[in-house]
A and B are shown apart, each in its own frame.
Chain A
Amino acid sequence: MRVRTSLVRVWAYASMALVLAALVFLFGYVFWQGKDVITWEFLSTAPSGSVLGSEGGIWPAIVGSLCFTLTAVVLGAIPAIATALYLVFYCRSRRLQSAIHLVIQNIAGIPSIVLGLFAYSLLVREFAWGRCVLSAGVALAIMVLPFIEVRAEKAFRELPDALVQSACALGCSKLYTIRTIVLPACRGELVSGVILGACYAMGATAPLMFTGGVAYASLPASLTKPAMALPLHLYLLLAQGTSMPQAYGTAFVLMVIVLVSNALATGYARRRNRTWKQP
């Protein structure tokens, strides 16, 4: 029995070490390959060179990525959190709950390139919005909606029933209870869910390839203008064989932004939890 316990422990430690090593190796490798191009200039200038992108930086792509992500998060998080609130606090029919869950699971299962195609044919062509931040933002918003909804719903369901019921038992409306008890209590999880959704959107290439991301553009001036994005820039650098070090540099910057955002999200959620659940 003791041997078995030790074996399980060794297996667990080894697995953990393997996962950690994979992450460190991935970061290390990408950084090593791109280290020569990662400079302040790389971060703060536009692409240049005889073949555009072979020299210069990725500033427009960083700003573009942030614009796409912000649009997606604003358009996706609001309906996602509202859906979660409805499911947990208003919907009494189990059948309707199951139907909504089925829809959300199905949206989560749609391949992102299909979302790109949908947004392209409906928004870019049919509605004639053209390739712009908004068209791509909508495609990305549909992609992150289930991601945020699932996390928000989980946070709401984990709140003690009695806490919410106590407020309702005082004769306060559900809306007041949600505003004053539910949302502040779940703020940590909600913010972290939204940031993680943003990371997910930031790494996606397929939904914005035909809808808003273009090969080389200046900084986006409005929602109706196209923009560059880090993953698309990376894809083009690779696909056209423009510059491998530039591609690795871009990949490293993208990974750092996502990792830092993830860490911030986790840290924030933990801190909020501490203040709300302190004995």
Chain B
Amino acid sequence: MEAAVTLRSVSAFYDGKPALEQISLSFPRNRITAVLGPSGCGKSTLLRAVNRMLEEEPGAAVQGQILLGGNDVQKIPVEELRRRVGLVFQTPTPFPFSIYKNMTFALRYYGIREKVKLEAAVREKLEMAGLYNEVRQELNKSALKLSGGQQQRLCIARALTVEPEVLLLDEPCSALDVKSIATIEAMLTALKKRYTIVLVTHNIAQARRIADEVAFFNDGRLVETGEKELLFDRPQQEETRAFLSGVYG
């Protein structure tokens, strides 16, 4: 299967202390890969290494090679890389503007000014995020007034406005209620037809519900990776078995 993102011996450090050690892994195109593991195992660090956000943190360093569609991310201009690799954070981060302005924020940056184009993009992406029908009458309402689940869907829709190839999601459901989680999971399953999705989570049940591939991390190491059924039903490593059976995590 073609890989959208490939990591070759990637290590990451904070002030010289390793946070990720020699990770070699690939995220197949148009699939949902769940990066699973207990808190503090380096899952979020991994995402930030892929879109080169990690490099901007003082004291952080990345080694190894990360390829996006076969090209080294270090050789792609950072703004282009981030346009091609979207990132959605754990807590919803709507900008304190209207819903419409949130959705057109990046488009305006890329020079799109025509109202027709902007409106079409806003509608299309909000529909993809399953939010359009809920907010169509109030696009000028402050995004801060939406519920937590709606805010997170808005953030995903906003990330889609720049047509990324890969969508990285850092525990996007950890702050949400059950109903919102179900909506977002359904949305992600629909979105994988167009995008490659990498979902960081410590929620085993969520990975089981929507992931195609699972990579299990512990202590900054990639313990095991494989198709969901294989990894959940026949884990090869003792650590994975222990995590899946709830011994830790």
A and B interact physically: yes
- Given A92-B56, A162-B89, the answer on whether A279 and B82 have CB atoms closer than 8 Å is no
Once the chains bind, are B95 and A181 in contact (CB under 8 Å)?
yes
Interface centre among A91, A168, A181, by most B CB within 10 Å?
A168
A27: interface (CB < 8 Å): no
Say yes or no for A93: interface residue by CB 8 A criterion.
yes
Q: Are A170 and B89 in contact (CB under 8 A)?
A: no
Q: Which A residues lie within 8 Å of B56 (CB)?
A: 92, 168
Q: How near does chain A come to B121, taking the closest CB pair, in angstroms? A: 13
- 1/0 per residue B127-169: CB within 8 Å of A? 0000000000000001011000000000100110110000000
B105's contact among A97, A170, A173, A278, by CB below 8 Å, is which? A170
Pair A169/B86 contact, Cβ less than 8 Å: yes
Main secondary structure of the interface of A (DSSP, over half): helix
Is residue A254 within 8 Å, beta carbon to beta carbon, of the partner chain? no
A residues 75-100 near B (Cβ < 8 Å) are 91-94, 97
A169–B185 Cα distance when bound, in Å, is: 22
Interfacial residues of chain A within 233-279, with CB under 8 A of chain B in the complex: 275-279
Answer yes or no: A166 CB below 8 A from chain B CBs.
Answer: yes
User: Would A172 and B106 count as touching, CB distance under 8 A?
Assistant: yes
Specify which chain A residues have a CB less than 8 angstroms from the CB of B90 in the assembled complex: 162
Residues A172 and B58 in contact, CB atoms below 8 Å apart:
no
- Tell me the bound Cα distance from A97 to B145 in angstroms: 37
| Contact, CB under 8 Å: B58 / A171 | no
Q: Within the assembled complex, what's the spacing in Å between the Cα atoms of A172 and B106?
A: 7
Chain A nearest CB from B62 CB (Å) reads 13
- In this assembly, does A160 line the interface, its C-beta being within 8 Å of a C-beta of chain B? yes
Given A163-B95, A172-B79, A185-B96, A279–B144 Cβ distance below 8 Å? yes
Given contacts A92-B56, A93-B58, A181-B95, A171 and B144 within 8 Å (CB-CB) = no
- What residues on A are CB-neighbors of B51 within 8 Å? 169
Q: Does A121 contact B (CB under 8 A)?
A: no
A interface footprint on B158-189 (CB within 8 Å = 1, 0 otherwise): 11011000000000000000000000000000
**What's the Cα separation between A81 and B9 when bound, in Å?**
41
| Cα separation A275 to B80 with both chains bound (whole Å) | 33
Q: Which range contains the number of B residues in contact with the other chain?
A: 20 to 34
Complex Cα gap A172–B51 (Å): 13
> Across the two chains, which residue of chain B brings its CB closest to A91?
B58
Interface size on A, residues (CB 8 A): 26
Which residue, B84, B87, B105, B110, has most C-beta atoms of chain A within 10 A? B105
Contacts of A162 in B (CB 8 A): 89-91, 93
A-chain residues with CB within 8 Å of residue B110 when the two chains form the complex:
171
* Complex: chain A residue closest to B53, CB-CB: A165
Contact at B79–A171, with CB atoms within 8 Å? yes
A170 & B106 in contact (Cβ 8 Å cutoff)? yes
Taking A167-B105, A172-B109 as contacts, is the C-beta distance between A278 and B58 under 8 angstroms? no
Q: In the complex, what residue of chain B is closest to A163 when comparing beta carbons?
A: B93
Q: Is A180's CB within 8 Å of the partner chain B?
A: yes
Would A166 and B59 count as touching, CB distance under 8 A? no
A171 near B95: Cβ-Cβ < 8 Å: no
Q: Is B83 an interface residue (CB 8 A)?
A: yes
Contact between B142 and A172 (Cβ–Cβ < 8 Å)? no
Cβ-defined partner of B58 (8 Å) among A97, A170, A173, A176? A97
User: A170-B105, A170-B159, A279-B144 are known contacts. Are A165 and B83 too (CB-CB below 8 A)?
Assistant: no
Q: How far is the CA of A148 from the CA of B82 in the complex (A)?
A: 33
Report B166 CB to chain A, min CB distance, Å. 12
| Residues of chain A having any CB pair with chain B under 8 Å | 91-94, 97, 160, 162-163, 165-173, 176, 180-181, 185, 275-279
18 A–B contacts, CB within 8 A, in A order:
A162-B90, A165-B53, A165-B89, A166-B89, A166-B95, A167-B105, A168-B53, A168-B56, A169-B51, A169-B159, A170-B82, A170-B105, A170-B159, A170-B161, A170-B162, A171-B82, A277-B96, A278-B144
For the complex of A and B, the 6 pairs showing the least CB-CB separation, nearest first, are A171-B83, A170-B106, A169-B87, A171-B82, A166-B93, A162-B93
Since A160-B93, A169-B86 are in contact, a sample of 17 more A-B pairs with Cβ atoms closer than 8 Å, ordered by chain A residue number, is A94-B59, A165-B89, A166-B89, A166-B93, A169-B51, A169-B53, A170-B82, A170-B105, A170-B162, A171-B79, A171-B83, A171-B84, A173-B109, A176-B109, A276-B96, A278-B144, A279-B145
